[in-house]
Structure 1
Amino acid sequence: MTHYKKAGDKAEKQAEDYLTGLGFEILERNYRHKKAEIDLIVSHENLLLFVEVKYRRTATYGYPEEFVSENQQRNIIGAAQYYLERLKWKGRIRFDIIALDASMSITHFEDAFY
């Protein structure tokens, strides 16, 4: 396993712990549909979140949240639509970004895109 993969896995675990601490239930990790991957799908009461987790060691080339491209957003939205149809979800949905830096501190961007 590469250093980058280990760091990414650690960041996703931190995001998971953060969300469960807020009362969310983890429904899916690394959910895949066609070309898309959704890092985390979580729920709480009548809210379903599709979460993209971004980690960067430094901000030299930009902040983690800036690395969610429009193409990636479209892919995530498409995968989410498929998931929603399969689940027959009737509640609210949201697309969030959880950004982590080298110290693994979290910045949570609610309603980041869509």
Structure 2
Amino acid sequence: MKTSTHLEIGKHGEQLAAIFLEKKGYQILVRNYRASYTEIDLIVKRDNWIIFVEVKTRSSTAFGEPEQAVSALKARHIFRAAEHYIYSTNWHGHVRFDVVAVKLGFEPAIDHFEDAIN
């Protein structure tokens, strides 16, 4: 079970990622989209693209870089949830799967990896 501190770190990272993406011109459509047992952290739009974003936040890199934490199983779950969203919204444009890595610290570092999950 995740501790409240772990959840708070994740939520803080998602908030920082959303602000970061908005500054880059993305429109936040949905936060924490749930389909079945899977959650997509952010669903954003830019031009004719819907982008499903997995946010990974770390307060330390002792266990690796945040972007390395997206497992094959997590990717499959994200794809299934994305299919649900695409179907339910009747989306016919382009689709992409990105990762935003947030490293917390005195000055948080944020990296955006486009088309990172495939």
Instruction: Give the alignment's TM-score, normalised by structure 2.
Output: 0.91
SS of 2:59's partner is coil
Give the 5 Å matches for 1:1-114.
2-103=4-105, 104-114=108-118
Instruction: Give the alignment's TM-score, normalised by structure 1.
Output: 0.94
Summarize deviations over 1:13-58 as a string: whole Å, max 9, x none: 1000011111111111000111211000000120110000001111
Deviation of residue 112 (structure 1)? 0.5
- Mind listing any 5+ residue stretches in structure 2 that lack a counterpart? none
Q: Distance in 2 between matches of 1:35 and 1:70?
A: 16
Q: Distance in 1 between matches of 2:91 and 2:4?
A: 37
Deviation of residue 2 (structure 1)? 2.0
Deviation of residue 5 (structure 1)? 1.8
Question: How many correspondences in the alignment?
Answer: 114
List, as ranges, runs of 4+ consecutive aligned residues in structure 1 with deviation greater than 6 Å. none
Specify the code of the residue in structure 2 equivalent to 1:67: A
Identical columns (%) = 40
What is the RMSD of the two structures over their aligned residues, measured on CA atoms? Answer: 1.2
